[in-house]
């Protein structure tokens, strides 16, 4: 699990693209062959080559450290299994996301308060920026993009549902699909299930 902060400013969830690259990994293709299909042959149907390279780099880094069992869940599972497994892969990488869930979502759930207000998010992100030397060095643009992408991951994973007024969200705890849950337990990763609001 990545313990350092990184500015995840692009390709927040990219479920369809992640499935496509996972399928190539499952074919035991080497890195260069996969990169060729994604970047040169435009497998992901992304207009610019620079954007294709960025998407490939982000998604491949997300997948390359995952054990093969999770890659198979992404390629062969139903939509919910795929979505939660991609979310798991992002959780491993994204410290800010893990801390947002722990410090804000889980705290709210314990208080039986399922509404996340924009002010809750702002207070969390600003406090993290104040206490971390890494985050304090990010430009305002990087900070804002990392902020919005971190929230977008939770919306894409369907753990947050946008509500009114704009900028507010409802927490939606959904059971983790049994295939992924069993694999996580078998691998001693029960603590991840807590972060998935299981």
The DSSP string of 121-174 is: HHHHHHHHHHH-HHHHTS-HHHHHHHHHHHHHHHHHTTSEEEETTTTEEEE---
pLDDT digits (tens, 9 = 90+) for 78-107: 999 999 999 999 999 999 999 999 999 999
Length of the chain: 198
pLDDT at 43: 85
Question: What backbone phi and psi angles, to 5 degrees, belong to 162?
Answer: -55, 140
Same domain for 76 and 126, yes or no, is no
Same domain for 106 and 153, yes or no, is yes
Q: Which residue has the tokens 């149907």?
A: 45
Same domain for 122 and 141, yes or no, is yes
H helices present in the chain, as ranges? 15-26, 31-35, 49-64, 68-76, 79-93, 95-100, 106-110, 118-131, 133-136, 140-156, 178-186, 190-195
What is the pTM (predicted TM-score) of this model?
Answer: 0.92
Same domain for 59 and 113, yes or no, is no
Name the domain count of the chain.
Answer: 2
Same domain for 42 and 98, yes or no, is no
Work out whether the CA dihedral 86, 7, 147, 116 comes out positive or negative.
positive
CA 151 – CA 132 distance, rounded (Å): 19
Same domain for 22 and 87, yes or no, is yes
pLDDT at 98: 95
Closest CA to 87 of 155, 189, 162: 155
Residue 3 resides in a domain: no
Same domain for 87 and 151, yes or no, is no
> 3-class SS at 115?
strand
Same domain for 98 and 80, yes or no, is no
pLDDT digits (tens, 9 = 90+) for 139-163: 989 988 989 999 999 999 999 999 9
pLDDT at 12: 85
Q: Extract the residue ranges of the chain whose pLDDT is less than 70.
A: none
**Could you tell me how far CA 37 lies from the centroid of its own chain?**
24
Same domain for 80 and 97, yes or no, is no
Q: What is the CATH number of the domain that holds 149?
A: 1.10.10
Considering 65, 91, 117, which residue would you say is the last residue of a domain? 91
With beta carbons less than 8 A apart as the criterion, state whether 160 and 172 touch. Answer: yes
Residue 153 resides in a domain: yes
CA 41 – CA 33 distance, rounded (Å): 10
Domain extent for 34: 15-91
Residue 150 resides in a domain: yes
């Amino acid at each position: 699990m990545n313990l350092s902060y990184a500015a995840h400013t692009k390709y927040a969830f990219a479920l369809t693209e992640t499935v496509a690259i996972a399928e190539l990994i499952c074919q035991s293709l080497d890195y260069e062959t996969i990169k060729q299909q994604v970047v040169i042959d435009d497998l992901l149907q992304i207009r610019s080559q620079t954007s294709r390279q960025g998407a490939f780099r982000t998604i491949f880094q997300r997948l390359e450290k995952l054990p093969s069992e999770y890659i198979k869940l992404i390629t062969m599972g139903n939509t919910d299994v795929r979505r939660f497994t991609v979310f798991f892969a992002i959780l491993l990488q994204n410290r800010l996301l893990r801390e947002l869930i722990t410090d804000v979502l889980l705290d709210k759930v314990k208080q039986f308060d399922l509404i996340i207000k924009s002010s809750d998010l702002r207070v969390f992100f600003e406090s993290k920026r104040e206490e971390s030397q890494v985050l304090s060095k990010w430009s305002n643009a990087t900070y804002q993009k990392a902020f919005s992408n971190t929230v977008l991951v939770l919306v894409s994973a369907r753990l947050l549902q946008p509500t009114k007024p704009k900028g507010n969200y409802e927490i939606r705890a959904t059971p983790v699909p049994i295939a992924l849950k069993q694999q996580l337990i078998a691998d001693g990763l029960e603590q991840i299930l807590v972060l998935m609001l299981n």
